[in-house]
Amino acid sequence: MGEGAHKLDTEEDNRQDAYKDVHLNWKKIALLGAIPIILIFLGFFIVLKLIGGENYSLAVDWYNENFGLPGIFLYVYIVDTLILPLSPDFVFPIVASMNPFVVVPIIGTASALGGITSYAIGLLLHKIPIIRRYTEKAMVKWGAYIRKYGVWFVIIAGLFPLPFSTICVLAGALKMDARKVIPATATRYIRAALYFALFRAGLLMI
């Protein structure tokens, strides 16, 4: 009994020592996050220049008639729930001319709910083989960070360009307190407001 307890204490000490060497590389995070949003913004700006504001408005009107805000909500929710090679930021060129007091809450809510669903997937379905394989793979890359920073890492992922849904799944798999994780997903409202402001500024520059 004593040897078993000593072994567990040793393993815990080793984990704690490993966490001490884990640090967020803010320069790398900024670079990885800046590249896709800059490319999306430049693409948006170039397309606007080529087609003109009137044609852009017609394209937005067509989207609204066929998909509307429910389409925006569903897209963001799915992307921030599942692990897909897509970004929720693709919606901002579409919504840049819309009412921010309507659009930003919709995007923020869809994104936050996506994070909460991801957390529930990790919490409730972690033992299912396909989910477990994914979480174990993700744990290798992000596990030490989320163990060290706890809910703060969820907040960081909500604000900065880190894989939000992946980190929320890991938060669930590690059984982090829902009373902390769920409020942390509200950071997606802040992110949605900032990104909307960026694309609205680009639209006004035309």
Is the pLDDT at 12 greater than 60? The verdict is no
**H helix intervals, the chain:** 2-20, 26-66, 68-79, 92-95, 100-125, 129-149, 151-159, 164-173, 178-184, 187-204
Domain count for the chain, please give it. 1
What local confidence, expressed as pLDDT, does residue 85 receive?
74
Q: Does residue 6 belong to any structural domain of this protein?
A: no
Q: Does residue 15 belong to any structural domain of this protein?
A: no
Q: pTM, whole model, 2 decimals?
A: 0.80
pLDDT category of residue 33 using cuts at 50, 70 and 90: low
Q: Does residue 11 belong to any structural domain of this protein?
A: no
User: Measured between alpha carbons, how far is 50 from 48 in angstroms, rounded to an integer?
Assistant: 5
Closest CA to 181 of 131, 123, 134: 123
Q: Does residue 85 belong to any structural domain of this protein?
A: yes
pLDDT in tens, 87-139: 888 899 889 889 999 999 999 999 999 999 999 999 988 788 888 888 888 88
Q: Does residue 136 belong to any structural domain of this protein?
A: yes
Q: Does residue 3 belong to any structural domain of this protein?
A: no
Is the pLDDT at 176 greater than 60? The verdict is yes
Full residue range of the structural domain in which residue 107 is found: 25-204
